């Protein structure tokens, strides 16, 4: 048995964040007990609706533009701390990037390149072996925002596409590393972040 | 950046488990799209009420019995694959075991040994640095079931205690490793498991 991974988390900071978020001390004054002892039922993760990008994005942007976007995004991922998911093999990286492009073309309203070969995408399940935190999702999204700008993806298709990937990405997080639930990222926020990233050398 | 941990997960098995659970193919026939593209809002993790063991368990079992139970359980943890959470130091292990005993005595209705020193327990947050899967929780619970039997914990206090730790333990899982939500474990199931473990050399 190898040593299990530890995340660098400032526990006291996270407890403070939760207190501020809840507006309480974390205690239940009416019973004088810890929240853990008396905590009521709650849903910690509430996933929002996933909003399909089909058929608009395929109609507006077309297959080649979608493929270029996904491949460019994967190149950014491969140069980022998220690269471990692809392993060491460039060949494997290429297979994954092309397969993802097939899926995105189909999801956006194009030909059934993915489902005809692989069936259901089940993205959350397919990513279970790989640790994906809230921060990993945010980096993945930031690099998508940069990709939309850098590949000059049509802006109106980009906004519909963003709503899809942002809502889907919440469901791929499988490692909770924060006290608070993951945050939504609007298309406007994404475009601001993309401009910031453009000013930095990446 | 070190390589991220990978869990050994049979993805196709998990997809099949989810299909059986949902009773569908994973596709939405009415729209002819993947579930990931059109998935409706849902709460994946729904935590049940946490049921306090206070004041009954302290009144029935008393402080020493609760301390013995927690320390025994920690010794089993330290000899299990979950031992990484304690690091390499026996001294550190002892501090954690005693602190946990303080917390459990207080939670069960005894003196405020824990909160007077450490404040809110915030168990979920305090465990965030350590990867804890559904399977880790089940092993933790199995070793508690064994501890209740081996330390001859009073049976009626044991059942109240179990309801508390079983409901709390769901909230400490921070790494999803399965397609399906974590399962509830009743006191009866726990006692059956404890008898099975008693028959194995541990």
pLDDT in tens, A76-129: 999 999 999 998 889 999 999 999 999 999 999 999 999 888 887 888 899 999
Residue B112: its pLDDT value, please?
92
Residue B3 backbone class (left: φ over 0; alpha: ψ -120 to 50; beta: rest): beta
Q: Which residues in A lie closer than 8 A to residue B126 (C-beta atoms)? A: 11, 15
Contacts of B13 in chain A (CB under 8 A): none
- What per-residue confidence (pLDDT) applies to B65? 98
Q: How far apart are CA B103 and CA A117, in angstroms?
A: 54
Average pLDDT rounded to a whole number, residues B94-105: 96
pLDDT of residue B18: 79
Which of A67-71, B20-24, B59-63 shows the lowest mean pLDDT across its residues?
Answer: B20-24
- Residue A130: list chain B partners with CB under 8 A: 4, 6
Q: How confident is the model at residue B88 (pLDDT cuts 50, 70, 90)?
A: confident
User: Which two tokens mark A133?
Assistant: 């935190």
Contact A200, A35 (CB under 8 A): no
DSSP structural state of residue B50: P
**Mean pLDDT of all residues belonging to chain B:** 87
Question: Average pLDDT for residues A24-38, to the nearest whole number?
Answer: 48
Q: Do A26 and B122 touch (CB under 8 A)?
A: yes
Chain B, nearest residue to A25 by Cα: B120
Predicted pLDDT of residue B20: 79
Query: CA A201 to CA A76: how far, in whole Å?
Result: 13
- Across the interface, whether the CB atoms of B179 and A49 are under 8 A apart is answered no
List the single residue in A15, A52, A107 with the smallest CB-CB distance to B125: A15
Find where tokens 């910690």 sit.
A44
How much is the pLDDT for B202? 52
The model's pLDDT over B31-77, given as tens digits with 9 standing for 90+, comes to: 344 555 567 777 766 788 888 999 999 999 999 999 999 999 999 99
**Structure confidence by residue, pLDDT tens digits, B117-164:** 888 788 889 999 999 999 999 999 999 999 999 999 999 999 999 999
User: Tens of pLDDT along A146-200?
Assistant: 999 999 999 999 999 999 999 999 999 999 999 888 999 999 999 998 988 877 7
Residue B47 is nearest to which of A44, A47, A125, comparing CB atoms?
A44
More confident residue, A22 or A58: A58
Q: Please check the confidence at residue B192 and state whether its pLDDT lies above 80.
A: yes
Nearest to B45 among A31, A45, A54 (CB): A45
CB-side neighbour CA atoms (13 Å) of A44:
22
CA–chain centroid gap for A46, Å, is: 15
pLDDT mean over B177-185: 91
The residues facing A133 across adjacent strands are A175
Q: Quote the CA–CA distance of A202 and A77 in Å, as a whole number.
A: 11
Confidence (pLDDT) at A146: 96
- Identify the architecture of domain B54-176+186-199 in CATH: Orthogonal Bundle (1.10)
What confidence score (pLDDT) does residue B39 get? Answer: 74
Portion of chain B with pLDDT greater than 90, in percent: 63
Residue, of B36 and B168, whose pLDDT is higher: B168
- pLDDT for res B111: 94
Spell out which residues of chain A touch residue B119, defining contact as CB-CB under 8 Å: 26
Query: A194: distance to nearest CA of chain B, Å?
Result: 24
| CATH superfamily entry for domain A48-199 | Globins (1.10.490.10)
Q: Where are the domains of chain B?
A: 54-176+186-199
Q: Which two tokens stand for residue B5?
A: 């941990």
A126, B11: Cβ pair inside 8 Å? yes
Mean per-residue pLDDT, B18-34: 56
Count of A-B CB contacts under 8 Å:
194
Residues of B whose CB is below 8 A from A126: 11, 15
B41 contacts A48 by C-beta, under 8 angstroms: yes
């Amino acid at each position: 048995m190898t040593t299990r991974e530890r995340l660098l988390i400032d526990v006291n900071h996270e407890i403070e964040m939760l207190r501020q978020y809840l507006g309480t001390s974390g205690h239940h004054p009416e019973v004088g007990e810890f929240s853990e002892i008396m905590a009521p039922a709650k849903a910690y993760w509430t996933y929002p609706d996933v909003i399909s990008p089909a058929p608009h994005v395929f109609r507006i942007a077309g297959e080649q533009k979608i493929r270029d976007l996904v491949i460019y995004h994967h190149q950014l991922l491969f140069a980022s701390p998220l690269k471990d998911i692809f392993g060491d093999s460039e060949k494997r990286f290429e297979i994954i990037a092309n397969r993802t492009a097939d899926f995105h073309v189909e999801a956006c309203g194009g030909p059934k390149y993915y489902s005809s070969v692989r069936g259901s995408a089940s993205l959350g399940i397919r990513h279970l072996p790989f640790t994906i935190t809230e921060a990993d999702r945010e980096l993945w999204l930031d690099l998508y925002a940069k990709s939309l700008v850098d590949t000059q993806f049509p802006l109106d298709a980009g906004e519909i596409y963003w709503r899809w990937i942002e809502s889907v990405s919440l469901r791929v997080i499988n490692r909770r590393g924060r006290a608070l639930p993951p945050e939504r990222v609007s298309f406007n926020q994404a475009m601001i972040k993309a401009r910031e990233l453009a000013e930095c050398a990446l």
